[in-house]
Amino acid sequence: MASQLAMGGDVSAAAKLLLRGELVGIPTETVYGLAANVFDVDAVLRIFEVKARPAFDPLIVHIHDRAQLSALVSQVLPEAEALMRCFWPGPLTLVLPKSAAVPDVVTSGLDTVAIRMPNHPLTLALLQVIDTPLAAPSANPFGYVSPTTAAHVADQLGEKIPYVLDGGPCTVGVESTIIGWEDGLPVLYRPGGLPIEEIEAVIGSVRPHVQKVLPVAPGMIESHYAPRKPLIVGDVGSLLVKHRDKSIGVISFTNNLGAVRCETLSPSGDLKEAARNLFGAIRFLDASDVELIVAEVFPDRELGRAINDRLRRASA
């Protein structure tokens, strides 16, 4: 393992490292990923080690060209085809029946594989140069907030990986929306950067996944995306009163509560801007001297659904 992390925009350096079996931090429009060559089992196993991620939590595979699908999946359903046409490259992950070529460590033994085409010029260029798909979960220690800048990756994984490809701050800021099919019907595994309303406009209604005994899809693990400080979601006014003995940091959609430490995610009320700023605000307050983070409930539509999902899990 490397002890000195480098950070920069050098696609060919990143490619060389990946082809030698090393891990590299990669930018995407959603969050930064921790990437390995999907067909290199040892490298994929190191992703789990570096993140301290449980082996039952499957990874997402990143491609730059739909021609790469044939090596990864055994079937592309017509609805999946339609979604790819509309939304790739973009913040949408599709769970499809896997081909035998995808190592079981990638999918945690499931017979499906999660795939997406990220919309970031550096990572698309990287995928083209190496010409192999990349398995990449978010580049954070398991359970912590996902990174939305190269510096976030360096802060948390800097001693464990040799390189972060720096593509600037993520433009979407929450992870991809994950859609799969059960009994032939579309299912939402994780609300994310592509609003479900836009997906339903293409394939009709999508039902939320109902968890069985074990998390099938662990973005579904309840406590996730969590800061180290306690975080409570609810009515900010009454929470401030209830916890008035503590120093509190607030996450608000549009309000700026002058008297209190407050991260206002979008003064103009733009849910996309709010999503872009969410994880940075959580990290900032987590690193500050507040004792408690209080967040308001966001409008339950479009990216507000992904924001509420992440806040709820951060508070679990």
- Determine contact, residues 261/250, Cβ cutoff 8 Å: yes
Q: Which stretch binds Mg ion (CB under 5 A): 59-67, 87-95, 130-138, 252-260?
A: 130-138
Least distance to Mg ion, CB of residue 139, Å? 9
Tokens of 73: 């999946």
The site partner of 290 among Mg ion, ligand TXA, none (C-beta below 5 to 8 Å per kind) is none
| Contact between 278 and ligand TXA per CB under 6 A | no
| Contact between 156 and Mg ion per CB under 5 A | no
Closer residue to Mg ion, CB minimum distance, 80 or 178? 178
Amino acid identity for residue 188 in this structure:
L
Closer residue to Mg ion, CB minimum distance, 228 or 244? 228
Distance CA 118, CA 184 (A): 25
Rg (CA), the chain: 19
- Please report, as residue ranges, which positions from 135 to 174 form the binding site for ligand TXA (by CB under 6 A): 136-138
Pick the binder of ligand TXA from 59, 134, 188, 271 (CB under 6 A): 59
What's the maximum distance between 2 C-alpha atoms anywhere in the chain? Answer: 59
Size of the site for ligand TXA (CB under 6 A): 31
Using CB under 5 A as the criterion, what x/- string covers residues 132-151 for binding Mg ion? ------x-------------
Distance CA 35, CA 130 (A): 12
The site partner of 60 among Mg ion, ligand TXA, none (C-beta below 5 to 8 Å per kind) is ligand TXA
Burial of 129 (0-12, 13-18, 19+ CB in 10 A): middle
Pick the binder of ligand TXA from 60, 187, 274, 282 (CB under 6 A): 60
| Contact between 118 and ligand TXA per CB under 6 A | yes
Least distance to ligand TXA, CB of residue 291, Å? 28
Q: Give me the helices (H) in the chain, please.
A: 11-19, 41-51, 78-87, 104-107, 121-130, 150-157, 196-203, 236-242, 271-287, 303-315
Omega cis (within 30) before 89? yes
Handedness of CA 268, 269, 274, 276 (dihedral sign): negative
| Contact between 14 and ligand TXA per CB under 6 A | no
Distance CA 67, CA 275 (A): 31
Q: Tell me which residues touch ligand TXA (CB under 6 A).
A: 28, 30-31, 33, 57-60, 93, 95, 107, 110, 112-114, 116, 118, 136-138, 175-176, 178, 180, 189-190, 216-220
